[in-house]
Amino acid sequence: MSEEIKVQETAESADQDLSNVVAYKKGDVVKGKIVKIEDNQAIVDIGYKYDGIIPLKELSNVSLDNASEAVEIGQELELKVLSLDDNKEKLLLSKRAVDSEQSWTDLQAKLDAGTIIEAQVKDVVKGGLVVDVGLRGFVPASMVERHFVEDFADYKGRTLRLKVKELDREKNKVVLSQKDVLDEEFEASKKQLMGELKVGQQLDGTVQRLTQFGAFVDIGGIDGLVHISEMAWHHVQQPSEVVQEGDKVQVQVLKVDPENDRISLSIRATQPGPWQQAADKFQPGEIVTGTVKRLVSFGAFVEIAPGVEGLVHISQIAHRHIGTPHEVLKEGQDVSVKVLDFNPAEKRVSLSIKETEEAPEAPAKPERKSDRERGGSRGSHSNEPIPPRESLNLTLGERFGDKLSKFK
């Protein structure tokens, strides 16, 4: 075959190849494959006479530092033609434009259905997080977690599970929430757990927060309240006297109220009561030190061990007679008491203060006076001596003579 024929066939083949090339124009959506990635752009083969370029800013709706953050070699994409110049062999394409158009439709469907989507955090900005959902999505700080987060610095690069909260195409606004997803999961878990709880059940928990009236304890995804009266067997003024946030505690379930989402717990119910602890500690006849806790009209209640109070009856307070316990005692006073009777099964202790003290000596009794002394005293108002008994009888006879004879 002559050189002339070869040249002619080559020219015809080239003309044929060119005739098979699809003509593209601005705005067309084309399919292509990533063949090369540079820092600020990606090179794409769309089956045209020359490769197209996707600039960095056209790769995503969120800001990127490098093209490799959005695409990888061999990846097939749908792209929109931004401009085409055959003379300069320059073809500019956009992934972002196609993603945006499709994303608005997809996100609206997910908003309507309440679908959970996953998206990676691309940036941390003031007030929240920026995520890539085909569009620039924003997760406000208050919608990231169920709890308060002070610093979001380590959230960049994380994948979040989100629900679409708000879409506004005119303002190019997409608001999403992870908190909604977590709240739904929490409610489902709480409902299941509350259904499994039984009164009297003992569980391990973690103190979440303290209030004036008690402590909230996490018992596996849900919180229950330990009222201040259930924190210890002794009197507690502040919950911080017993526990701190983060403490691991054992609790007993007192009450479950699914309708009002309330769980009542007790720490003290998991511990031996003061009467159990004191069962072998006190014996009748023993003298111990206690603190006056309450004064009542009939006596005083004295605490001889944490949570163990006994009664000192008013008759056992002092050797002398007293009208009220307040004459001798005051609340908060430390006193020595003798254990008269100790019955831990009935939670009863009888105590005495006066039996710890020596009784005072009785005053001396006055001497009895003789009959003569008594007589002398009776005649002290007259100088006349008292007549003898016979003389007294005679005098009566003389005086009443006839009258007495009538009774004989």
Q: Which amino acid is at 131?
A: V
Q: Which residue has the higher pLDDT, 166 or 261?
A: 166
* Residue predicted with more confidence, 292 or 14: 292
The CATH number that applies at residue 123 is: 2.40.50.140
CA 43 to centroid of chain Cα atoms: 56
The answer to the question of residue 56 being in a domain is yes
Of residues 307, 295, 321, the one with CA closest to residue 349: 307
Is the pLDDT at 229 greater than 90? The verdict is: yes
Any idea which of 95-104, 118-127, 296-305 has the lowest mean pLDDT? 95-104
Rounded Cα distance between 95 and 57, Å, is 9
Residues 350-383 have pLDDT tens digits of 999 999 998 887 666 666 655 555 554 444 444 5
| Greatest CA separation for the chain | 203
* pLDDT at residue 101 in the model: 85
Mean pLDDT of 145-166: 95
Pair 99, 44 in one domain: yes
Residue 145: inside a domain, yes or no?
yes
In a domain? residue 373: no
Range from 43-47, 58-62, 285-289, 322-326 carrying the lowest mean pLDDT: 58-62
CA 250/CA 267 separation, integer angstroms: 6
Residue ranges making up the domain that contains 68: 34-113
Query: 262 and 219, same structural domain?
Result: yes
Same domain, 220 and 254: yes
- 167 and 223 fall within a common domain: no
Q: Is residue 309 part of a domain?
A: yes
The rounded mean pLDDT for the chain is 86
Q: Is residue 156 scored above 90 in pLDDT?
A: yes
Gap between the Cα atoms of 278 and 32, Å rounded = 84
Summarize pLDDT for 268-325 with one digit per residue, the tens. Answer: 999 888 888 888 889 899 999 999 999 999 999 999 988 899 999 999 999 999 999 9
Of 10-19, 35-44, 60-69, 274-283, minimum mean pLDDT range: 10-19
Give the 3-state DSSP-derived string for 46-109, with helices as H, strands as E and coil as C.
Answer: CCCCCCEEEEHHHCCCCCCCCHHHCCCCCCEEEEEEEEEECCCCEEEEEHHHHHHHHHHHHHHH
What residue type is assigned to position 89 of the chain?
Answer: E
Helix H or strand E segment including 352? strand 348-352
pTM score over 0.75: no
The C-alpha atoms of residue 123 and residue 103 are separated, in whole angstroms, by 19
Residues 61, 43, single domain; the answer is yes
- Number of structural domains the chain divides into: 4
Residue 389: left if φ>0, alpha if ψ -120 to 50, beta else—which one? alpha
pLDDT digits (tens, 9 = 90+) for 247-256: 999 999 999 9
